[in-house]
């Protein structure tokens, strides 16, 4: 698909640049036990899970894979379920046509026990023939329904994040492209925030202009009890030299009455650069997330190794942790999760240990904890999987269960190199 959301290959820092950083990694002892819950085999089983997981009241886990399934040369993606006993079932395999292709983010569980999510492509013949993406519903019996097919115009295209649902059954999310055309974002558009009503009508709540308001939202939005929406954009905001003249991204709010506000503009350098994922909020309304770059770590040069940040309701930002060398993690791409004590848990795509031979010397990723006072601990380091079904490159955030166990996915690794579902239990 054209101009897919920049994840592992961005204008800010390419893989080649990461490999030339000369990061000093070491073997880090794990402070949690890890278990591989499922190893993806590719083909109909699914491959390359890039979404976080959700769970129902019975402890069943649900997620998506970008590839694998029934259609397309490498598969068009799947929606899967994993029982508490570890048995995986593919609930739906996308076929790459009107039903959608490449679900990137986790679905949500609706009031009927079905699932609702997005696909980054498919849904028609627009957007250079790939389709502009869909919002889909999946009934408990496995029947898929396209609730909305994006047209790639003012309604947006390529919804890379998932959706959230309000009490009326209305859905809210973002698209990475579409909306306003021309100007800064050219023929692609800068992305949108949308609402899909329960009766199937789509409304564009905001179309980004690519200026101080931001551009290209890569994650979804969160919804508070008053009906306000919060999210991030990967680009836009401050057009300083720190961000190659395209902006370092913003944290935004759309109020219940539709007013758009930039709560914080990233400056690059010490305060972070390029928030790729969405946000989480605590009871006081503080927002938490990650930036893939920034943080002023000398080991990563001017790009930085990434940060974990907090933004207060009044728009004050605080860096809770700036990744330093790769040993403590590198390039967090995903959202974080909070426990009741205010501890923050997340993943980094790279970093951790030189013993991960499949990545050169920049590591296969980590699971980390950051306490409210900013102390970071590596709970688990992904290493060379070798002949063991261990994962590598966690591109998604974590699910925290009631017992304190963390569940997640890796986009690669495992026996067939198609990714795994893992559980990390802090010691």
- 382 φ/ψ sector (left φ>0, alpha ψ -120 to 50, else beta): beta
Alpha helices in 122-237 (DSSP H): none
Structure-token pair, residue 194: 């949308």
Residues in Cβ contact with 359 at an 8 Å cutoff, skipping those fewer than 6 apart:
350, 392, 393
Residues in Cβ contact with 262 at an 8 Å cutoff, skipping those fewer than 6 apart:
212, 213, 214, 237, 250, 251, 252
- Residue 248's H or E segment, with its range, is none
Which of 127, 107, 103, 105 is closest to 117 using CA atoms? 107
- State the first-to-last Cα distance of the chain, in angstroms, to the nearest integer: 42
Distance (Å, rounded) from C-alpha 381 to C-alpha 103? 27
pLDDT tens digits in sequence order for the chain, 427 residues long: 333 333 323 333 444 444 444 455 544 556 778 899 999 998 889 999 989 999 999 999 999 999 998 777 778 999 999 999 999 999 999 998 899 999 999 999 998 899 999 999 999 988 988 899 999 999 999 999 999 999 999 999 999 999 999 999 999 999 999 998 877 888 889 999 999 999 999 999 999 999 999 999 999 999 999 999 999 999 999 876 678 788 999 999 999 999 999 999 999 989 999 999 999 999 999 999 999 999 988 888 888 999 999 999 999 999 999 999 778 999 999 999 999 999 999 999 999 877 776 655 688 999 999 999 999 999 999 986 556 668 999 999 999 999 999 999 999 988 888 999 999 998 7
- Residue 18's H or E segment, with its range, is helix 15-19
Distance (Å, rounded) from C-alpha 161 to C-alpha 159? 6
Which of 44, 157, 61 is closest to 95 using CA atoms? 44
Say if CB 337 and CB 280 are below 8 A apart. Answer: yes
Q: Which domains are assigned to the chain? A: 17-426 (2.120.10.30)
Cα separations (Å) of 171 from 71, 160, 199, 258? 27, 15, 11, 15
* C-alpha dihedral sign at 300, 302, 303, 306: positive
């Amino acid at each position: 698909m054209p101009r897919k959301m920049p994840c592992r290959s961005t204008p800010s820092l390419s893989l080649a640049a990461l490999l030339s950083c000369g990061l000093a990694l070491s073997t880090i002892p794990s402070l949690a036990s890890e278990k591989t819950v499922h190893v993806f085999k590719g083909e109909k089983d699914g491959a390359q899970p890039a979404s976080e997981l959700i769970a129902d009241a019975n402890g069943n886990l649900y997620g998506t894979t970008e590839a694998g399934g029934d259609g397309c040369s490498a598969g068009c993606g799947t929606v899967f379920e994993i029982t508490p006993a570890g048995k995986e079932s593919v609930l739906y395999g996308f076929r790459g046509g009107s039903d959608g292709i490449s679900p990137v983010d986790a679905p949500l569980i609706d009031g009927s026990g079905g699932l609702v999510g997005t696909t980054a492509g498919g849904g028609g013949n627009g957007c250079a023939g790939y389709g502009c993406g869909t919002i889909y519903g999946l009934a408990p019996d496995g029947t898929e329904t396209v609730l909305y097919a994006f047209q790639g115009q003012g309604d947006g295209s390529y919804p890379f994040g998932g959706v959230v649902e309000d009490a009326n059954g209305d859905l809210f999310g973002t698209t990475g492209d579409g909306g306003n055309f021309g100007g800064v974002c050219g023929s692609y558009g800068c992305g949108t925030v949308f609402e899909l009503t329960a009766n199937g009508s789509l409304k564009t709540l905001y179309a980004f202009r690519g200026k101080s308001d931001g551009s290209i939202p890569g994650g979804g939005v969160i919804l508070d009890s008053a009906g306000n929406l919060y999210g991030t954009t990967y680009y836009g905001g401050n057009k300083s030299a720190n961000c190659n003249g395209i902006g370092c991204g913003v944290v935004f709010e759309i109020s219940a009455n539709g007013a758009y506000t930039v709560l914080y503009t990233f400056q690059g350098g010490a305060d972070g650069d390029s928030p790729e994922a969405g946000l989480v909020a605590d009871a006081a309304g503080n927002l938490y997330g990650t930036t893939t770059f920034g943080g002023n770590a000398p080991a990563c040069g001017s790009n930085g190794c990434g940060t974990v940040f907090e933004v207060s309701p009044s728009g004050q930002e605080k860096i809770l942790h700036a990744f330093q060398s790769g040993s403590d993690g590198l390039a967090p791409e995903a959202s974080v999760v909070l426990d009741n004590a205010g501890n923050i848990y997340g993943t980094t795509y790279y970093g951790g240990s030189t013993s991960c031979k499949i990545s050169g010397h920049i590591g296969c990723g980590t699971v980390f904890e950051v306490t409210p006072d900013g102390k970071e601990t590596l709970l688990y380091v992904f290493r060379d999987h070798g002949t063991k079904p261990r994962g590598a490159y966690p591109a998604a955030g974590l699910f925290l269960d009631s017992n304190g166990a963390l569940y997640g996915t890796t986009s690669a690794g495992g026996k067939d190199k198609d990714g795994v579902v893992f559980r990390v239990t802090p010691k």
